[in-house]
Amino acid sequence: MPTDIELHIPVEAEVMAVDLLVGHCELSRTRLKQVMQSGAVWLTRAQSTKRLRRAKAELRPGDEVHMYYDAATIDSQPPPAQMIADEHDYSVWFKPGGMYTQGTKWGDHHAINRWVERHIQPQRTAQVIHRLDRHTSGLIMLAHSKAGAAGLSQLIRDRQIEKCYHAIVEGEFGAPGDQRRLDTDIDEKQALSWVSVLAVANGRSLLEVKIETGRRHQIRKHLQGAGFPIVGDRLYGEDAPEGLQLCAVSLAFVSPVDGSPKRYETPLALRPKL
């Protein structure tokens, strides 16, 4: 059986989605249904392109179906996320390292928004509000209503959410209690991180990092630039068996829904340890 397939099929007559795909590839009907449920099949109708999950969906002439099949992606199973709080309009989850924040054209069953949609009760749509790198663990918020999405997005734009991370780095960053400001521009944009030493042992340091800006890979770049790459950072340092030792440990803000102060924390057992 093929391990990867990319199809772009114009629809010329009314047909059921799975029947169209069966006629254009070697995958079984059962496998194709799995591929569709995994979010690897797309439907273009008029000016809109969306994932096509229903095997029995009726297609019309003028539609176009796209399939991006990668066997390894379809068969991969993400580590489970853990709910921290359900606030109805939004929820907060612990995303384990290795789980994607969002899907790709090759599927979305391995992304946290789809994982939450399939596991939260009562079931709701889940919109990602902010991102965590795939290999970064920790707290992430998902909105379940327009009000939740709009309110949280505004807080992020206004920098009204306090984000705190823990990281283990190679080297002795300083003595416990020492603090340092890292403000090297990232991608020619202002970036500011505040770093405090929590502990030092065995040639490594456990750091608390608070960020005032949210540039891509900001913490990883700032720490690597200071000479202290994060343990397990394959992009800016070296790989390690324990994986990337960077975790979003707390989020604090005033709820845009009811105006109450909120603080969410990653359980101690899930945080990086020296």
Q: Give the model confidence (pLDDT) of 128-184 as tens digits.
A: 999 999 999 999 999 999 999 999 999 999 999 999 999 999 999 999 999 999 999
List the CATH number of the domain containing 172. Answer: 3.30.2350.10
Q: Which of residues 160, 184, 204 is at a domain's end?
A: 160
Task: Answer yes or no: is pLDDT of 105 > 90.
Answer: yes
Q: What integer pLDDT is reported at residue 3 of this predicted model?
A: 87
The whole-number average pLDDT for the span 240-266 is 96
- State the DSSP H helix or E strand holding residue 253, giving kind and residue range, or none if neither: strand 246-254
* Domain range for 114: 82-160
Long-range contacts, stretch 71-79, CB < 8 angstroms, 24+ apart: 71/1, 71/2, 71/3, 71/4, 72/3, 73/38, 73/40, 73/106, 73/107, 73/110, 74/34, 74/35, 74/38, 74/40, 74/107, 74/109, 76/110, 77/110, 78/109, 78/110, 78/111, 78/112, 78/115
Q: What integer pLDDT is reported at residue 233 of this predicted model?
A: 96
The verdict on residue 49 lying in a domain is yes
The whole-number average pLDDT for the span 51-63 is 97
Same structural domain, 148 and 169: no
- Nearest partner of 93 among 63, 137, 30, judged by Cα: 137
Same structural domain, 172 and 245: yes
The verdict on residue 183 lying in a domain is yes
- Segment 8-48, tens digit of pLDDT: 999 999 999 999 999 999 999 999 999 999 999 999 999 99
Same structural domain, 50 and 27: yes
Q: Which residues are catalytic?
A: 133
Q: What integer pLDDT is reported at residue 79 of this predicted model?
A: 87
Give the C-alpha separation, 251 to 161, whole Å. Answer: 7
- State the DSSP H helix or E strand holding residue 189, giving kind and residue range, or none if neither: none
Q: Which of residues 75, 101, 127 is at a domain's end?
A: 75
Could you give the number of structural domains in the chain?
A: 3
